[in-house]
Amino acid sequence: MSKNRELLSKIGLRLDGRRADELRRIRCKLGVFTEPDGSAYLEQGLTKILAAVYGPHQVRGNRSKAQHDAAVVNCQFSMAVFSTGERKRRPRGDRKSTEISIHLRQALTAAIKTELYPWSQIDVYVEVLHADGGIYPACVNAATLALIDAGIPLKEYVCACTASLANNDVPMLDISHQEEIIGGPTLTVAALPMSGKIVLMEMSQRFHVDHLQKVLEKALQGCRDIKHILDEAVKSHIQDVGSSTGWANTT
């Protein structure tokens, strides 16, 4: 099936009707739970993520992990049994989720001002409700929102996005599950879009050097676009919260 399927039709539309440089629809909500210190729900296309942040609080469990000059960021990634087409029990701590957890911590540590909270710990829990490609980037984006909701000081937003090559020529953004299966290599980038720093980059297969630059460029553009969307969401959330306290009316 994959052979005679082209990712980008000659008319310039992808299989789901997007153009090459378009993100999937992103919808998000902050403060979805009351129990955690911060929480967020994010939909990127059909990929749906819940993120919850606890802390900063005292280091629990193994005290020796505590650092004298920075907070410990602890990430835990899990997928719901019903998140994919096939119902499957996914024990915590399997290879894939451990890997994603570590990558999440790497991306988030780069954005959080950890030096403000020595001897303490920040927990980030991420749960995938529906997986449809681009799980890791969606997790990063959701976690960013949850951190903002928790009021933890960040250097800037950390956003992530995937990009790939269509027909071995045109770079395309935000790869869905279907495209992941059919297509070639996928590049995942997590970046600090305002300063343009890349905090994590991963390739599913080898890219040829000639292609890498333009795909990376495209992925970074995606991160910047996502940042705008998240920014809007945060602003409107603040406005909602503010107006319910009567703060918005003071101006």
Positions touching another protein (CB under 8 A) are: 4, 10-11, 13, 15-18, 24-25, 45-46, 85-86, 132, 168, 176, 178, 208, 210-211
The smaller minimum CB distance to another protein, of residues 55 and 183, is found at 183
Q: For residues 190 and 201, what is the distance between their CA atoms, to the nearest angstrom?
A: 6
Q: Considering the complex, what minimum distance in angstroms separates the CB of residue 17 from another protein?
A: 4
Q: Considering the complex, what minimum distance in angstroms separates the CB of residue 49 from another protein?
A: 16
The full 3-state SS of 173-194, as one line of letters, equals: ECCCHHHHHHCCCEEEEEEECC
Q: For residues 11 and 47, what is the distance between their CA atoms, to the nearest angstrom?
A: 26
Q: For residues 37 and 52, what is the distance between their CA atoms, to the nearest angstrom?
A: 8
CA distances from 73 to 61, 105, 114, 129, 243 (A): 14, 6, 8, 23, 32
Q: Considering the complex, what minimum distance in angstroms separates the CB of residue 38 from another protein?
A: 28
The smaller minimum CB distance to another protein, of residues 82 and 247, is found at 82
Q: Considering the complex, what minimum distance in angstroms separates the CB of residue 209 from another protein?
A: 8
The smaller minimum CB distance to another protein, of residues 2 and 34, is found at 2
Q: Considering the complex, what minimum distance in angstroms separates the CB of residue 39 from another protein?
A: 24
The smaller minimum CB distance to another protein, of residues 18 and 237, is found at 18
Q: For residues 199 and 180, what is the distance between their CA atoms, to the nearest angstrom?
A: 22
Q: For residues 189 and 171, what is the distance between their CA atoms, to the nearest angstrom?
A: 14
The smaller minimum CB distance to another protein, of residues 63 and 87, is found at 87
